[in-house]
Structure 1
Amino acid sequence: MRHMYICVLTVLVALSPATGLFAASLFDPGLRWKSIKTEHFWVHYHQGLEEQARRAARYAEERHPWLTGVHNWQPRLRTDIVLVDNTDLANGFAMPFPYNRVQLFVVNPPMDSFISNFSRWDEQVFTHEYTHILNLDIINGLPSCTRRSIGRFCFPGMFMPIWALEGNAVNYESLLDGRGRNYSAMTDMVMRMECAGDRFKSISLASHYPREWPSGNVPYLYGGLFVRFIEEKYGKHRFARVFEDNSDNIFPYLVNRSAVNQFGPDFVRLWREWESFLKARYDGQMRAIRAGGLTSTRTITAGGYRTTLPRFGPDGKWIAFVRMDASKKAALMKYSLETNAFSEIGAVNLPSSISIPANGAIYSTDLERHRSFSLYKDVYSWTRKKSKLTAGGRLHYMDVSRSGDRAATVRYGAGRYSLELSDTSFRGGTVLIDRTDMQLGYPRFSPDGRRLVFTLKNRSGVTDLVLYDDDAKTMTRLMSDRFDDITPSWHPDGERLLFSSDRTGVYNIYEYRLADHSLRRISNVAGGAFHPDVSPDGATLVMTLYGPGGFDIALADYPRDPPAAGVGVPSLLGLRDFSAPDIPDEDRNGPGSRDYSPLRSIAPPLWVPMAGSDELYEGRYDFAVGFILPGADTLFRHSYFTSLNYFTVQKRLAVRGQYRYSCLYPDIQIEYENEALFPAGDAFPWTRTGETGVKRRLDHSGGVSALFPLLYYHSFHAFTAGYFIEEALTDIALPYQGGETRIRDRLARLRASYLYSSTRQYDYSISKEDGREFVVFSDIYNSAYGSDLSFFKGWFQFTELFRGIGANHVTAVTFRGGLSKGNPAHLAPFPLGRFEKGEWKSPPGEEDGLGMRGYPSGALYGNRLALGIAEYRFPLARGDIGYRTIPFMFRNLGGTVFAEYGNVWNGRSAVGDFRWSAGMEFHLKITAGYYMDLSGYAGFARGFNRGGEDQFYFGFATLVEGALKAAGAR
């Protein structure tokens, strides 16, 4: 039987964070939510964020008339703004489905990041995300009829290239106050090296998310500057007209027609013009930089991307750093200056600081999941193995004194930063700065441990160095200027500071002499230099050096007499300077708050028409029409869908519903399905030819289950327990026999399942790598809770992934086993084979997908299963290949060779009864529609034993799989 349903809901549901397996971990169920209603927004926030919520209510209304005016679009309903403080990663996102929604994470980005150019981060990120809402929500002309008929189904802005959506948002974040990515020295650094390294990206790459560095930043950095170029050429806010022009297009992906309508030339031609303009601009910058004499450096790493955080060992013979490239797991590394050899200390996630005291121990701050719901930075130590020293500490940065007995940390929470001193247990201690609203970072002890330098980002967005003297108990701001001074460290003599600064428009390493407050520039690089550290003998400088491929670790001789670069103007700071200002009257006297209610947003945003066909028997089909109603509240505490289909030949209704409750730990899910509703009576078997047997199965089922997730940064556990009951109605009409037979089976089961995965996928991976997966299911059927039959069924699958002989080569070893006991023969659950000749259908679920390749599915089932699989997976072609602004990009072509050995059986089985198969597959990965990564495969398998056959089979995404009819039995 074939089922085909055409439903664009798949795309919309994929955009929802609540539709994943772990909706329970979206927000901590212990959070208590409030809401503030303004004229155009609902602001939702949890305890501890009232001040930020009142600010958001004010600045959202302030930005609304400006942004809606320039985009000529006013959302019909209030936009939801969700403020949450559950991560130490700065970000935000916007989504138009089910309703317009902006989510903002209440934490500032690191001061050395690409998004660090801001004065008020919350206002800047809101401006960016609300621009997305307006660009995605806008709809006019004939497409707008869908909003009035089926609801929030059509979003013309989703058919725009990624560079256009992100570029326009970057443009408005930058117009807000003259900051943002368009006016950042970081952006200049990236684009300067893109031009100098002859790596300028095509418009096709920027229309997607490319993997070549700067990878995911390309649509933002390229898009922002390209939109700025267009508006400087054609007029301010002209690019917003492109979204308005696109909003009434009947056909999607006509972005270049909109460009021609607005500007004359299409975007491809404008891109080439902008590329020439930018290369000329940055060529002038490079000539000026080279004229000053480039610093001689020796790069010791070559992976690029985000490799960073170099620190000399206490004897000066080795360097520790963090490797973060595109083809391997992130790791803490050690480089020997004596042998030039690298060694891996251990895996990391996303470290923000490392420290090495005189005893050679290594400390780091790194991200990890906290109680599944949050993503926090904590302190780790590295001796023989990695040890976690704090839990949920939210310690963004730390440093340990050379003596190893003192630690300095920057702690974050609810929009406030604290600077603390403690011992190396990182508990208790002294609070030097308590909960300031100004961002703190990069603390570093002086060699004698009596002074501490750190970075302060003031309320105007300017970053300065501050020196704390533990003897005098004073804090001194060393400079007060408009430049960003970040990532400080100490010279071994204790009288000089080193730091990175954009004083010339290029991030270079500077020296600050405490004796006379003089500044000296000690590097002149083409890209950028960060995170300096000096060897114990003062002879060698190590730094993070930016080049065409990203960040690498580089060495340079420490200059004996660097040229003067100005004089600092120090000023003493008191505790009052760090105190957060009082809440402004306009925020305090704004709209009142109320308890969050899901009822306001729980209504279904659309109904999705469906059409399909159902094969009744060979040569005759039934046609189905119906609809789906999906929905979720703003916080995704409640999510649901229900569907109704009518089959025109059978005159049969089928209903299905599912509801998930995510206010507790675990998630609770209730589901119901009934395929056997006959409003006008059942006409089975619909034929009296006497030549065709007809068989039909209809299900009437329901269930309730609980999902317990346990998430980590690179792994997860998920335990599910539930009760399910189903009534299977099987109608049979045999040829040349009168009457019909109905078999009614009622099966009720308790289910328990466990799923674990620690696998990873890197930018250039062709499959999962570096880890293992384990899944086990067990079902217990028993008459005590409504089942006609009592039996047990369970199965497991374990996969271990090893590195192969080349980059992103993978050796996979899989074991499967299954046992069913007490079931009747017709309910034997485990199939021998995997594909059926001449059939294509949705991929099977659970035990139906456990069979061997090279043997037909449906031919043989057993109560026992044992199977071992060995696979070798390797890349054949990798590259981001697209054309112009066409919404299609080739990503990977990979190959797999495999061998399988196993069997299914009833009762006893001998090893001699086991069967072999082997074959090869080709796996293709593409990106369609700019956003959707899709995978497909085609393969050949041969079963070498009884029942085996030659199979040519295929599959596409999770939608369909099948085998060619021409496959031959053996």
Structure 2
Amino acid sequence: MGHNSLKGCIRFCLIMLVFSLAAPAAQALSVAWGGSWKTLQSEHFEIHFEDGFQDMARRCLAIAEGVHRELLPFFGSGPANRTHIVLSDDTDFSNGWATVLPYGRIRLFVSAPSDPGSLESYDEWLHLLIRHEYVHILHMEMGRGTVNTGRKIFGRFPLLFPHVLTPVFLLEGMAVYFESDAVAGYGRLQGSHYAAQMALEVRNGNWKDLQEVVIPLRNWPINKAYLYGAFFIEYLISVYGEDAVSEFLYRQSGELIPFFTLNSQAKRVFGKNFTALWEDFRLAMEERFADTDSGGQGMEGRMLPSGDFFLQVAATSGDGFFLVEDSGKDRRRLFRYAGKEREPMMALRPLSDMDVSEGGRLAVSRVLRGADGRVFHDIFIYTPEMGWDRLTRNQRFSRVRWMPCGERLLVSRQRAGLSELYFLDLEGNMRLLWRGNQGEVLGAFGPDVTGGWLVAGLKRAGQGWNLEMMDLGTGRWQRLTDTPSMENEPSFMPDGRVLFSADYGGIYNVYAMDTDTGMLEQWTRSSGGAFRPRFAGSKGLYYQVYTADGFRLLRVEDPVALKVFSVEDVADEKFFPFLFDEAVNLEPERKYTPLKTLRPRYWFPVWLFNEDTEQLGFETHGSDALDRHSYGLVTTYDVKNDLVNGSFVYACDNRWLLFLDRSHRFGELKIHETSFDYILREDRVTLQRNHLLNFFEDRLSVHGGLVHERDTLVDTPSLLLRGPVESNLAGMALTFRDEEYYIHVPGIGWGFYGELIAESNDILDSDYKGAVVQGAMRKIWNLPGSRTLGLRLAGGYADREAKPFRIGGTRTGEEMRLFGRNEAVLRGYPRSVQTGNICASQRLSLSSLLFRVERNWSLMPFGMGDVSGSLHVDSGSAWDEGMSMRQLTGAGLELQVELVLGYHFRAPLVLGYARGLDSDLGEDQFYTALGFSF
């Protein structure tokens, strides 16, 4: 192993250390900047929240303590220390995550689900969320025997948590099973959507074998780890009992290498390995869902061409139907349908809702991801004459409907866990119409043709989803339904009837209600579910159906009643008991401090060696409960040469970055036929402050940085001794990023990135002098299919006394750095093939998804996802001012194989070949690289 590979190992260990979190915490981003944070503590939990969320925090602790009592008997033991809960209101989406590394943490996003799908079946959002995430904590914390001994020695090292290294379908299946309550009727296993999904998997021949479910990545259904996992755990418990499943978990919790014992432990407990259990599970699902077909998927509608895979955003205006196609292969595009014909209109940025006025104006609720970590919605208006106009800023309105007059909008949001409904005029002025109480969630809504009434899906506290009408003049609600079913996505038809989707009979279908008589007409008969119905006048009904291959758009020109009945026939109000209402003992509220949780929680030995060195050391990592502060350390002692090496990285939010690195390079120098060994010490310090200023929806940002580099010769003959060479650069950078990623496209799917960096050696003492200016731009075009065309242009100028640029090689290690760069890649040529104070490079690449494997090797910790390839042509040169430029060109290809290791960890393996076309300097290069991500 050479020096460079050894140094790479050290840095790889550091990267692994900083990101050594459990797979369920893959979304572990720091909370948004700012806020005054507080902490409350109960017997088994600490909760951290922004000032003003005290009541919600107390409610969370009451729920968490109740859930702890209920779940503890099954898992046998709980965490030795308190679990940290973070209550977050910095995103408009409903989600959460949990991890036990480096200690037990749960993140709760307080915005409750308001759409039909799978998450809408809950008694109380915080209860469902806490229950699901705390199952993960109890599950992954389990340990016994040698595992516990190892934890006492090394602390909370990731490999000492066997259930962290468990297939996703077992982790999520366990959590979904225990979030569901068959008696009260809530949770995903009790909702209609999961049952319909599994029924289609069984009946349409799309049953996923075990190898497909072990590493769920991008294939349909996207939620298969949850779906199959939940039904599989339910099957195991129904056949073998809770005690058997608990015993399996207990046995597995003592395995130091848990990947290889899953089958043997299953055979001991259940009498069969997972392959046999999965086959039994398949037969049980076939028997269970064999007779649940409701008459054929979408049999009464005509399927239309549309983007598939996802549920699409849709709207109507008069006879026009509008659909945003999001296929996962290219940009979202708005289409207008006239019957079965469709007309492309424009590309759109990510959005959650839209509506079209009678005059053709488009109102959308766009998803905006701020540099501060917040993910909020805002309202934009588009007219052909004026283009886009932003009406709101950081107001979080995720739903929008035009009023019939076309001069104002109805918009809704959730903020601090409360649903709100507003009037919004075209000047951006807001007027509050209604604010719900805790536990009341407003779903989709729409006004009638007079503008006097609003119909909405509304979930009252302790109840299920029902339809209600609001008098927009008085703000009073009038209930239309009292049923145990999920009724949502309502809109008024021109004749005054209400069109909506409901899961009467266990399957979502489209219904029309006469609000005066309470009579209902069933308009669709779908086996997977009919969603987002829109009535387009003479063009009829448009709706989207769930199929075993994704969502599809259907149209019925003249809807007819397949069934007529009264709302009283399905009336039987669903009521959820108010759980865990008892008070819990709390310590006094205190100000949040990161120091309470920032200490390192483990250490692990490191041993690195080659012919020049033998290094012994350790690594560790730490982060605070809010994930605002994180750090990693790898330090080693070279026992062969009496040298100390190490790397330290500290990050604060996504704003501050500090990187310290000391390493040693071993080399040989020949002078007059005599060879001398030398050791070069390389010290590097980078301090970077990102997002000093942000503009244009935070796509344009200003950053600052300092880079210190010091090279010192140590342990050399006296004739080679010289003083250290020191470089101290201070700089500013301007970056613009407008890029999108798609699920079926490798890498960046579309967009533009540009940067301009100016640095100086004269602000701080340095052996180099003068300024360095460099810039780069990257443009990605989306091509038909899962293909992209990329162009990159870069160049730089350095004063003559500054460090020169170097060009050449397949990878320089500087690609991800913003400051202190002086090397450029040029594949097909040796590293530093040219140097100079001027540098220019160009790259053209064509990339494509070749095929998708998405399978694991049995239950072994080895799997494969996407395989993609690219062709590239590189050119560039480095030369000194006043000298002629010699342009070098190379061409080659790369194959990228997405490996999945340990069920959770993605390791893109790059296999590349490049040939330099210059007859003197070019060469054939074969290279490999291995990345790592979660």
Q: TM-score, normalised by structure 1?
A: 0.88
Tell me the equivalent position of 2:655: 667
- Classify 1:903/1:474 alpha carbon distance in 2 versus 1 (closer, same or farther; 3 Å): closer
Determine if the alignment matches structure 1 residue 821 to structure 2 residue 799. Answer: yes
Look up the equivalent residue of 1:747 and give its one-letter code.
S
Tell me the equivalent position of 1:930: 903
**Whole-Å separation in 2 of the counterparts to 1:835 and 1:466:** 61
| Residue of 765, 768, 773 corresponding to 1:789 | 768
Tell me the equivalent position of 2:346: 345
| Residue of 171, 187, 208 corresponding to 1:180 | 187
- Classify 1:370/1:745 alpha carbon distance in 2 versus 1 (closer, same or farther; 3 Å): closer
Look up the equivalent residue of 1:213 and give its one-letter code.
W
Tell me the equivalent position of 1:599: 595
- Classify 1:921/1:151 alpha carbon distance in 2 versus 1 (closer, same or farther; 3 Å): same
* Shift of residue 73, structure 1, vs aligned partner: 2.2
Determine if the alignment matches structure 1 residue 951 to structure 2 residue 924. Answer: yes
Is the CA contact (8 Å cut-off) linking 1:309 and 1:544 kept in structure 2? no
Is the CA contact (8 Å cut-off) linking 1:307 and 1:553 kept in structure 2? no
Is the CA contact (8 Å cut-off) linking 1:693 and 1:732 kept in structure 2? no
**Whole-Å separation in 1 of the counterparts to 2:854 and 2:698:** 28
Q: Deviations over 1:388-432 (max 9, x none)?
A: 221111223221123213422223211111223343445222523
Tell me the equivalent position of 1:963: none
Q: Deviations over 1:429-476 (max 9, x none)?
A: 252345553001212111222211011112234111111234676421
Determine if the alignment matches structure 1 residue 705 to structure 2 residue 688. Answer: yes
**Whole-Å separation in 2 of the counterparts to 1:472 and 1:851:** 67
**Whole-Å separation in 2 of the counterparts to 1:713 and 1:158:** 41
**Whole-Å separation in 2 of the counterparts to 1:807 and 1:684:** 49
Is the CA contact (8 Å cut-off) linking 2:620 and 2:632 kept in structure 1? yes
Q: Deviations over 1:310-361 (max 9, x none)?
A: 33332x1x310122223223333322337x133042313141x322221121
- Classify 1:505/1:914 alpha carbon distance in 2 versus 1 (closer, same or farther; 3 Å): same
Q: Deviations over 1:54-91 (max 9, x none)?
A: 01111111111222221112211111011011111010
| Residue of 719, 744, 757 corresponding to 2:737 | 757
Tell me the equivalent position of 2:281: 274
**Whole-Å separation in 1 of the counterparts to 2:816 and 2:564:** 71
Determine if the alignment matches structure 1 residue 107 to structure 2 residue 111. Answer: yes
Determine if the alignment matches structure 1 residue 138 to structure 2 residue 142. Answer: yes
Look up the equivalent residue of 2:896 and give its one-letter code.
H
SS in 1 for 2:850: strand
Determine if the alignment matches structure 1 residue 627 to structure 2 residue 615. Answer: no
* Shift of residue 130, structure 1, vs aligned partner: 0.9
- Classify 1:709/1:236 alpha carbon distance in 2 versus 1 (closer, same or farther; 3 Å): farther
**Whole-Å separation in 1 of the counterparts to 2:27 and 2:70:** 38
Tell me the equivalent position of 1:831: 807
* Shift of residue 118, structure 1, vs aligned partner: 0.4
* Shift of residue 560, structure 1, vs aligned partner: 4.4
Tell me the equivalent position of 2:830: 856
Tell me the equivalent position of 2:847: 873
39-48 or 792-801: which moved more? Answer: 792-801
Tell me the equivalent position of 1:609: 605
Look up the equivalent residue of 2:215 and give its one-letter code.
H
**Whole-Å separation in 2 of the counterparts to 1:371 and 1:100:** 27
**Whole-Å separation in 2 of the counterparts to 1:50 and 1:90:** 20
Is the CA contact (8 Å cut-off) linking 1:778 and 1:792 kept in structure 2? yes
- Classify 1:457/1:448 alpha carbon distance in 2 versus 1 (closer, same or farther; 3 Å): same
**Whole-Å separation in 2 of the counterparts to 1:770 and 1:335:** 26
Is the CA contact (8 Å cut-off) linking 1:364 and 1:381 kept in structure 2? yes
* Shift of residue 169, structure 1, vs aligned partner: 0.6
Structure 1: gaps spanning 5 or more residues: 574-580, 615-619, 678-682, 961-970
Look up the equivalent residue of 1:511 and give its one-letter code.
A
Look up the equivalent residue of 1:170 and give its one-letter code.
V
SS in 1 for 2:363: strand
- Classify 1:813/1:476 alpha carbon distance in 2 versus 1 (closer, same or farther; 3 Å): same
623-632 or 74-83: which moved more? Answer: 623-632
**Residues 105-504 of structure 1 aligned to structure 2 (within 5 Å):** 105-153=109-157, 154-175=160-181, 177-215=184-222, 217-236=223-242, 238-253=244-259, 254-286=261-293, 288-289=294-295, 295-314=299-318, 316=319, 318-337=320-339, 340-351=341-352, 353-370=353-370, 372-384=372-384, 385-425=387-427, 427-435=429-437, 437-470=439-472, 474-494=476-496, 496-504=497-505
917-926 or 557-566: which moved more? Answer: 557-566
197-206 or 761-770: which moved more? Answer: 761-770
Tell me the equivalent position of 1:898: 872
**Whole-Å separation in 2 of the counterparts to 1:413 and 1:949:** 60
Q: Deviations over 1:549-571 (max 9, x none)?
A: 22222101333455322234999
SS in 2 for 1:693: strand
* Shift of residue 139, structure 1, vs aligned partner: 1.8
- Classify 1:444/1:22 alpha carbon distance in 2 versus 1 (closer, same or farther; 3 Å): closer
Determine if the alignment matches structure 1 residue 914 to structure 2 residue 882. Answer: no
- Classify 1:950/1:461 alpha carbon distance in 2 versus 1 (closer, same or farther; 3 Å): farther
Is the CA contact (8 Å cut-off) linking 2:220 and 2:309 kept in structure 1? yes
Determine if the alignment matches structure 1 residue 75 to structure 2 residue 79. Answer: yes
| Residue of 5, 30, 37 corresponding to 1:26 | 30
- Classify 1:896/1:474 alpha carbon distance in 2 versus 1 (closer, same or farther; 3 Å): closer
* Shift of residue 833, structure 1, vs aligned partner: 4.1
* Shift of residue 718, structure 1, vs aligned partner: 5.0
166-175 or 814-823: which moved more? Answer: 814-823
- Classify 1:531/1:686 alpha carbon distance in 2 versus 1 (closer, same or farther; 3 Å): closer
Q: TM-score, normalised by structure 2?
A: 0.91
Is the CA contact (8 Å cut-off) linking 1:368 and 1:712 kept in structure 2? no
| Residue of 761, 765, 779 corresponding to 1:800 | 779
* Shift of residue 711, structure 1, vs aligned partner: 8.5
* Shift of residue 546, structure 1, vs aligned partner: 1.6
* Shift of residue 936, structure 1, vs aligned partner: 2.0
* Shift of residue 163, structure 1, vs aligned partner: 0.3
* Shift of residue 647, structure 1, vs aligned partner: 0.6
- Classify 1:356/1:218 alpha carbon distance in 2 versus 1 (closer, same or farther; 3 Å): same
* Shift of residue 12, structure 1, vs aligned partner: 5.0
| Residue of 863, 879, 885 corresponding to 2:859 | 885
* Shift of residue 749, structure 1, vs aligned partner: 1.9
Look up the equivalent residue of 2:324 and give its one-letter code.
V
**Whole-Å separation in 2 of the counterparts to 1:301 and 1:336:** 12
**Whole-Å separation in 1 of the counterparts to 2:501 and 2:578:** 33
* Shift of residue 710, structure 1, vs aligned partner: 7.6
Look up the equivalent residue of 1:398 and give its one-letter code.
V
* Shift of residue 509, structure 1, vs aligned partner: 0.9
Look up the equivalent residue of 1:246 and give its one-letter code.
Q
The size of the alignment, in residue pairs, is: 915
- CA RMSD across the alignment: 3.4
Residue identity (%): 22
- Classify 1:756/1:697 alpha carbon distance in 2 versus 1 (closer, same or farther; 3 Å): farther
747-756 or 127-136: which moved more? Answer: 747-756
Is the CA contact (8 Å cut-off) linking 1:650 and 1:686 kept in structure 2? no
* Shift of residue 180, structure 1, vs aligned partner: 0.9
Tell me the equivalent position of 1:527: 528
- Classify 1:954/1:588 alpha carbon distance in 2 versus 1 (closer, same or farther; 3 Å): same
Tell me the equivalent position of 1:541: 541
221-230 or 446-455: which moved more? Answer: 446-455
Is the CA contact (8 Å cut-off) linking 1:830 and 1:864 kept in structure 2? no
Look up the equivalent residue of 1:14 and give its one-letter code.
F
- Classify 1:398/1:861 alpha carbon distance in 2 versus 1 (closer, same or farther; 3 Å): same
